[in-house]
Amino acid sequence: MPRRYDPGRRQRIIDAAITVVGERGIGGLSHRTVAAEADVPLGSTTYHFATLDDLLVAALRQINADWLAELERWERTADPARPLADELLRLIETLLAGDRTRLELEYELYFAALRRESVRPIAAACPDEVAALLARRTGDLGTARAVAALLDGVILQVLLTGRPLERTEVRAALERLTG
């Protein structure tokens, strides 16, 4: 029987892996669950991704690319006449008002790198890319790294505690960092 040409299969598998992790966590990720979610034969997942770490790397690359695209959209639309702290606060509010499940998934995949060496380089590259992008607005890489760390910390605290964003407090911290 000839092989069926399916150019979108690899991407469907990555999308399915993201969905599975979003619904079940990293512990729920298996070739079998991803194959079922993608509606592809089990052998397709192992053909494209020999290990689960390979699949996690592909999922994290996609999540990182999506996050960086969102950050670039923010950077393009940030009003240069407004204080940077206000624009960064708007970014945080936009992220928290969006799809919380997706945001939680992004951090879950990011933190998977703490225990999975093969995923670590992909996760480690993202903060560098975020800082480089933020440096366009902050004027220097050191400040941009501090802003990125503050953004991550604030978002994680809101996600973990369920408390509302402390706008005044966060804005003051951003103002201290950005001047």
- The angle subtended at Cα 102 by Cα 143 and Cα 170, nearest 5°, is 35
Burial class of residue 38 in the structure, from the number of CB atoms within 10 Å of its CB (0-12 exposed, 13-18 middle, 19+ buried) = buried
107 shares a domain with 68: yes
113 shares a domain with 46: no
- Give the contacts of 54 (CB within 8 A, at least 6 positions apart): 118
25 shares a domain with 62: no
64 shares a domain with 38: no
160 shares a domain with 122: yes
CATH code for the domain of 121: 1.10.357.10
Residues 26, 112 contacting (CB under 8 angstroms): yes
154 shares a domain with 89: yes
Residue 4 lies in domain: 1-50
What is the number of domains present in the chain?
2
113 shares a domain with 166: yes
Check residue 102 and give its pLDDT.
84
Query: Pick from 50, 71, 87: which residue ends a domain?
Result: 50
CATH code for the domain of 1: 1.10.10.60
9 shares a domain with 79: no
Query: Pick from 9, 33, 50: which residue ends a domain?
Result: 50
43 shares a domain with 62: no
44 shares a domain with 63: no
Q: What is the mean pLDDT of each run of 10 residues along the chain (179 residues)?
A: 71 96 91 96 94 93 91 92 95 91 86 88 91 94 97 95 95 95
Read off the pTM.
Answer: 0.84
Residues 165, 92 contacting (CB under 8 angstroms): yes
Check residue 113 and give its pLDDT.
86
Check residue 1 and give its pLDDT.
40
Question: What is the rounded CA–CA span in Å between residue 160 and residue 156?
Answer: 6
- The angle subtended at Cα 19 by Cα 47 and Cα 71, nearest 5°, is 105
